[in-house]
Structure 1
Amino acid sequence: MTITQLSYVLAVAEHQNFTKAAEKCFVTQPTLSMQIQKLEDQLDILIFDRSKKPIELTDVGRKIVTQARNIVNESYRIQDIVDQQKGFIGGEFKLGIIPTIMPTLLPMFLKSFIKKHPKVKLKIEELTTDEIISRINDGHLDAAIVSTPLELDTIKERVLFYEPFVSYIPSSHRLHQNIKIEVSDLDLNDMLLLEDGHCFRDGVINLCKAFKKNTEEKFQIESGSIETLIKLSNEGLGMTLLPYLHTLDIKENEKQNLHYFKDPTPAREVSIIYHKSELKMQIIEALQSVISGIIRGAIAFQNVEIISPLAK
């Protein structure tokens, strides 16, 4: 039994196709098939049911894949040990970022990180929190930047910063004249929200529900982007809440619609998360250091109350 054979098994389990798995592993399909067949013969079991289309794992195959993933991940730790001993920060690093953080945070730190750590080859994807969790657990992401806490046994979290919520209230709205907003002023019935699947949406709902026990969730409009929510609000269709970093690039004529909360300001916790196996920690720590250093100059809020992204 070899690490290579186990890696081939994981590739077939992922793609449910021997040809696609071979392409991913940069080997010929006969080579990959022969090595998996050799492993099955050694164990005297079938890992894959080849009669199904697409190929499926057998019952024992599912258990083997779970263990194989642990073994392959642990094998990567040997290279980690060597890299850390040499003080090397480099190699490919796959990073996921949720949509409500990507457009504001990425431009702030990416250039600085690349300049400071030129040997790291970052591969960045914009993904939802659910997609990120799945990919971290499957070993397809090394880390991600999301709203926390997530309270997952398989994933560790390192807080990067706390980002306050800011109200965006058009002139036609009942709260526009309020200089400072109370959380108890909010009403989901006139709130523009992101589509289902965005953790910032869940944070807004949790914030409102904490003070409105009998609120009926009758949303007028839901959108996939914060920019669209701002445009809809400008049309008098309701107010919305924005993450603080989104307000830094807002148009000059729209700044009059920004209203801040009274202390303690509701905020979301933004963290870098990674698998409990703690692979590539030297790159994770480098990302944390660069982002934390940059963000300190952008967010000066101290008195905040963290709003959970977990749907309730």
Structure 2
Amino acid sequence: SMLDYNVLGGKLNRGLAVVESYKLLKAGSEPSEEEEFLACILGWGIEWLQAYFLILDDIMDNSQTRRGKPCWYRLPKVGLIAINDGLVLRSQISRIFKRYFHGKPYYVDLLDLFNEVDFKTTSGELLDQITTSEGQKDLSKYTVDVYRRIVEYKTAYYSFYLPVGCALLLSGGSLDDYVQVKHILVEMGIYFQIQDDYLDCFGDPEVMGKIGTDIEDFKCSWLFVQALVRVDERQKDILFENYGKSDPACVAKVKALYKELNLEAVFSEYEREIYEKLISDIEAQPNEAVQAVLKSFLHKIYRRMK
């Protein structure tokens, strides 16, 4: 069915993160079966949200495959009906939440959180689309600041802040008291995406499970924006000449330039700095259970590179 095809098949990281975060927040007291069940419902809510984003994203990007299968809209019987399927997924979330959370003290805050994150993610997608079409005309539009904004809105909120926000609400917290936690999670989300961009070029496709296409796809990638601030005129010409072309020879030239600019070392240095900064920000958190949640996220991200 449409649900099995689109909601299942990922790693379910975001959904599982709700349950894990909730257990860490309840440190010292075992959650009841009812509470754990509700944490699972919230986790599935995020997975449905993710499925809705991906279905529509794949149509916009004209993608071929997702999670090792053809994209949903590419199936002959589906086509553009996929747009409605995406909307069905999104509207079901509200109904599921109504069924299980209506009357709970955090019900309004929960709907608010999902609406806010939905808004941020779709705004990030819009920013990404606009930037890419601008970039196709003029690559110097791809700057470090533009990159950060896209990633923060498009990925960081729903992948990192949302699961923890759900767990905090379920454990009786008020999100207004955790503004600093939100900042830390968004920063982690940006770090995660930078890793992703790095691995798209330098990672092993066997390990990644996919072949990177950021260069061919004209992506405003972290490697590109870092290259742009480091090139001399000659290198800049090579970069602009070959970026966004599907010809393997062009892609190879861009990769060679990334190596020449020593971006692997730039990445390692960035990674070391951001890791230290995140650790010190986390350790400044007054609540130990919250610290534990943030550290578990950070170590998961960090482990991808090892």
TM interval, short-chain normalised: under 0.3
Relative to its length, the structure with more helix (as a share) is 2
Q: Give the structure with higher Rg (CA).
A: 1
* TM-score, normalisation: structure 2: 0.26
* TM-score, normalisation: structure 1: 0.25
